[in-house]
Amino acid sequence: MAQRIQAFSTYGPRIDLMEAADEKRFMELITQRTTLSSGVVKNVQESENETLIGLLKEGRPVHSGIAIYTPSINLDGEIDVSVKIDKRITSALNADGAFSGKVIRADNIGKTSEEIIALWNADHPEDPITG
């Protein structure tokens, strides 16, 4: 018997990710939008990183203006950090017509869980999802 996750990974919409923008390209774009040199921007980034680590080590959530970073711990004592992105970023991405990337299986946007499972079951009668 197939699992629901198989149906969603097979038929759910997803973004066709392009090659990641590297640090050099990111830096070029920042320096084009500011009066700062790439060296100054790099120093600010390094200072932000060190400050973030220091505050997280104290057990503090950090509101950076771009995200909220919150330290957590698992049963093995390993520290992790959860990140909640500033709503301005997701709002900008979700504005009508703003996203210019490619969406794979875009025709399945808005389908219900039951409709996605029905697609799986129609294509996989030998391994249906039940329940």
The total of other beta-carbon atoms located within 10 Å of residue 42's CB is 15
3-state secondary structure of 105: coil
Global confidence as pTM: 0.73
DSSP run (H or E) holding 42: helix 38-57
> Which residue would you say has higher pLDDT here, 113 or 131?
113
pLDDT digits (tens, 9 = 90+) for 9-60: 999 999 999 999 999 899 999 999 999 999 999 999 999 999 999 999 999 9
In terms of Cα–Cα distance, which of 131, 90, 127, 100 is closest to 114?
A: 131
For helices 113-123 and 4-11, what crossing angle results, to 10°? Answer: 90
pLDDT digits (tens, 9 = 90+) for 61-108: 999 999 999 999 999 999 999 999 999 999 999 999 999 999 999 999
The total of other beta-carbon atoms located within 10 Å of residue 104's CB is 11
| Maximum C-alpha span of the chain | 62
